[in-house]
Structure 1
């Protein structure tokens, strides 16, 4: 389905073939979502994702805006307030080294789980 959208709407793939571009875009989306959930760079990532949604709204129109309205609201709250009452999982660990190990190992575990589920059951 994504390949059809990329090809028919002539989405710029920056010199990559569409299949490779879609896989790279999915990985970037996964990393950004992971970092938002873990609690790293919430304001910056909120701004980046909002800008990405605005650019996709130019391609897909009002359907994109309505479909992602709740996400836009959460991202705007992240931009304005940071994490506010949400206690991110990274705050469990006190030292920077413990946080780094937590983020790295948890990322590998979550990514491996998603890849296993996708390639085993898709």
Structure 2
């Protein structure tokens, strides 16, 4: 297929949406890196422009902490694997009979992680 080429690549900003910033702010925004723009977006609450990790890193830190920028690749956090619990040795049929017989010695029933035959 052909690459997408927009019909009107230069969009005119409507007059009511045009704003004028102080020269220092204009210069700061024009020279800001992607990482700095990402942190500014987080401070302004524009969290949809970044991953959760980038957002919380920017909010929790007092300085520019994002080194990846807005166009960074989002990667999942790595977690330590949790080993499976050993199978539960409870005999389901025997326990069910004790429940039906209202066995007073039966104090607790654990039916978690029962190995299916």
TM-score range, shorter chain: under 0.3
- Higher Rg of the two aligned structures: 2
Which of 1 and 2 has higher RCO (CA within 8 Å, sep 6+)? 1
Between Structure 1 and Structure 2, the one with more helix by share is: 1
Q: TM-score, normalised by structure 2?
A: 0.26
Q: TM-score, normalised by structure 1?
A: 0.25
